[in-house]
Amino acid sequence: MHDDTAATRSTAGPTVRVLRVFTGPDGAGGNPLGVVPDGGALPAREERQALAARLGFSETVFVDDPDTGAVDIYTPGVRLPFAGHPLVGTAWLLRRSGHPVEALRPEAGTVPVREDADGTVWIRARPEWAAGRRTERHPSPDALEALPGPPEGEGWLYAWAWADEEAGLVRARGFPRRGDGIVEDEATGAAALVLAGELGRPLDIRQGRASLIRTRPGPDGTIDLGGGVALAEDGGLPAPATHRSA
């Protein structure tokens, strides 16, 4: 099991920064994320996959070029062309480490980045980059909470219910169902992106124990996906090198 409290993890290889992404309004919650700032220390995909498996986070990101935003994303079992919470978290970390990126570049394509005055980090992406994640509506948040664990079946499932349909408030649970030890995700950007694309309206999604994911429709079928980020514990990072408002 990974230790969610360590802001920096010592490994046999490079340094790993540990973040919580999509924190709630009080700073609690957030899905743990491992970020390797010096991706060049592990250039081979096999090495990266092995480290991601050893860390056990739902995703680990390798930063290949902090100035251009080139990144490489892995679950414990597979490499991903796109994922939401890794990109939000990596953008936050780079902007506080002397690299004020305005875009990240995973395999899927160029992902614009911006940050609100309150520190909320936003990425802009296409729902089709998160293909393969199925959504399933439940009649109420109580019905959703009553699920004892992952429903039977295979493949990514995003179970959700309206908490307040008029206000666009959603309660959700994310079940990867990919056999890599991640039973339920605390917060899932890619699945939220898919749901936002299907519903076609702004959403505030409460997921996991205390996490908050925000989505807003963007131009040309894109979705803006945003949330708060924190170190797993105080690591003394400086303020962002630049600050852009929404």
- What are the helix (H) ranges across the chain? 45-55, 84-95, 141-145, 189-199
Q: What is the tens place of the pLDDT at every residue in 118-174?
A: 999 999 999 999 989 999 999 999 999 999 888 888 899 999 999 999 999 999 999
Residue 12 DSSP label = S
CATH number for region 8-109:
3.10.310.10
Nearest residue to 227 (alpha-carbon basis) of 195, 201, 192: 192
Q: What is the tens place of the pLDDT at every residue in 173-200?
A: 999 998 888 899 999 999 999 999 999 9
* Domain segments of the chain as ranges: 8-109, 129-225
Q: How far is 156 from 158, CA to CA, in rounded Å?
A: 7
At residue 8, the pLDDT reads 58
- Give residues with Cβ within 8 angstroms of 198, minimum separation 6: 127, 135
At residue 152, the pLDDT reads 87
Mapped onto helix, strand or coil, the DSSP state of residue 180 is coil
- Take residue 144 and report the two structure tokens written for it: 């959703």
Task: Quote the pTM value.
Answer: 0.90
Residue with tokens 């860390």: 55
CATH of 129-225, one of 2.60.130.10, 3.10.310.10, 3.20.20.140, 3.40.50.300: 3.10.310.10
Region of 241 (left: φ > 0; alpha: ψ -120 to 50; beta: rest) is alpha
